[in-house]
Amino acid sequence: MILKSTGILIFLIILLSCSSSTQLTDIYVDKNFAAEELKKVLVLGIAKEDWKKKVYENEFRSELRKHNIEVLTAWQELPKGEELTKETFEKYFKDQNVDAVLVAIAAGESTEETLYSGGTSHVYMGFYGFYFSTAAVFYSPGYLSEEKIVHMKTNLYETGEGKIIWSAKSQSYEPKNTKEVIQTVSRDVVDELYLAGFVK
């Protein structure tokens, strides 16, 4: 019974570890610009696949609009089939009165392996409970869990001098698909922008 319970516990740990989740890390906020409310933002996705850029931009647009931000997307606004220069962006920002540009970057994928040992030990058990649960650690095979991790980076720049005023990295564990990653990251990023005072 103890071995069976231990196996069930390990199975639940593995199941939880493989569930989808997203974490934001390395959050940077320029204190000189914090609490400066943004009015108009251009969202620019950077990825190898054009469809992924479009999904990035559309999802961030949806989240920012919830905070009454006027949002422009690069796939709709910027010229296609030509090289974009500094002058191209400067003219566009000035002509459109854009406050900031939010850049969502695909940063690749990785895998992480975790070995879960069979069994647990409990010092204050009786002999039988202690022996069988402890023995399980040494005699039961380990359980190897492999997680897929999708990485993204999001930067926010003010358009006056092109300075970065906010940034964060994200790690999404075992996502169902690309759209789920981008939906979650865009929501979490905009929540952080709200906390920093960039959106209301």
- In tens, the pLDDT along 175-195 reads 778 788 899 999 999 999 999
The reported pLDDT for the residue numbered 10 is: 44
* pLDDT mean across residues, the chain: 80
Tokens of 135: 């023995």
Decide if 100 is inside a domain: yes
> What letter represents residue 61's amino acid?
R
Q: Render pLDDT for 14-42 as a digit per residue (tens, 0 to 9).
A: 444 445 588 999 999 998 886 678 999 99
Decide if 34 is inside a domain: yes
Q: Render pLDDT for 39-74 as a digit per residue (tens, 0 to 9).
A: 999 999 999 899 999 999 999 999 999 999 999 999
Decide if 62 is inside a domain: yes
Question: How far is 161 from 103, CA to CA, in rounded Å?
Answer: 16
Burial class (CB in 10 A: 0-12, 13-18, 19+), 168: buried
Decide if 7 is inside a domain: no
Decide if 56 is inside a domain: yes
Of the chain, the percentage scoring pLDDT greater than 70 comes to 72
Tokens of 48: 């190898």
Decide if 90 is inside a domain: yes
CATH number assigned to the domain comprising residue 60 = 3.40.50
Domain region containing 166: 21-112+148-196
The reported pLDDT for the residue numbered 51 is: 92
Which value, in Å, is the radius of gyration of the alpha carbons in the chain? 23
> Residue 111: is its pLDDT beyond 90?
no
Decide if 140 is inside a domain: no
The total domain count for the chain is 1
In the DSSP assignment, the letter for residue 49 is: S
